[in-house]
Amino acid sequence: MAEQRGVRPRRTAPGRQGVKLDDLSIEPWQRNRVREVFANPFYEWLGLRLESVGGGVSQVRFNPREELISGHNMLDGSVLNAVLEVPSFLALLCELRDGENAVTNDIFVQQLRPVSGGTEILLEGRLNRRGRTMAWTEAQASVDGKVCALARITKTVLPPPG
């Protein structure tokens, strides 16, 4: 993702959430949504760390747990498929209105190269287009600047309840 327009707040201690949510230049309701995403037990267990969000882009980092590494010291590709949803949603979040939500209705993931155990993975998301009821995003996973997986994700934008 060539251009990074997201906010890069100061980092917190390693092993914890990557940024302080109060440092993000986003609306309070958006901050709460970010909190909800990272409070998901699966993402919490994975140890995902927010690096930046804003301006239609996001960055998340994680170090795969030992349980996710195969006997060949490689990360299971299905894990990348799952975690690429996070930066995709976060890139879209700042374009949602309070009360709106977005759900994935199509995802296409390309695994480009294996990911070795013991590596830190950077997940980046970008909003390509937001319509009234649909949004199109891209996400990628990279290690040491080399892209390992790409995803094109189409989301349905749901109106506020009621």
Q: Using H for helix, E for strand and C for coil, what is the string for 1-46?
A: CCCCCCECCCECCCCCCCECHHHCCCCHHHHHHHHHHHHCHHHHHH
Q: What is the pLDDT of residue 15?
A: 41
Q: What is the pLDDT of residue 18?
A: 67
Rounded CA separation 89/69 (Å): 26
Q: Strands, E, within 112-145: which ranges?
A: 121-130, 134-143
Q: What is the pTM of this model?
A: 0.87
Q: Which residues of 5-30 are buried (b: 16+ CB within 10 A; e: fewer)?
A: ebbebeeeeeeebbbebeebebeeeb
Residue % of the chain over a pLDDT of 90 = 80
Q: What is the pLDDT of residue 162?
A: 83
Q: Give the pLDDT confidence of 29-73 residue by residue, as tens digits.
A: 999 999 999 999 999 999 999 999 999 999 999 999 999 998 899
Is 66 in a helix, a strand, or coil? Answer: helix
> Whose structure tokens read 């070795």?
116
Taking 50 as the pLDDT cut, the residues of the chain under it are: 1-17
Q: What is the pLDDT of residue 12?
A: 35
Please state the CATH superfamily assignment of the domain spanning residues 21-158 in this structure.
Answer: Hotdog Thioesterase (3.10.129.10)
Q: What is the pLDDT of residue 119?
A: 95
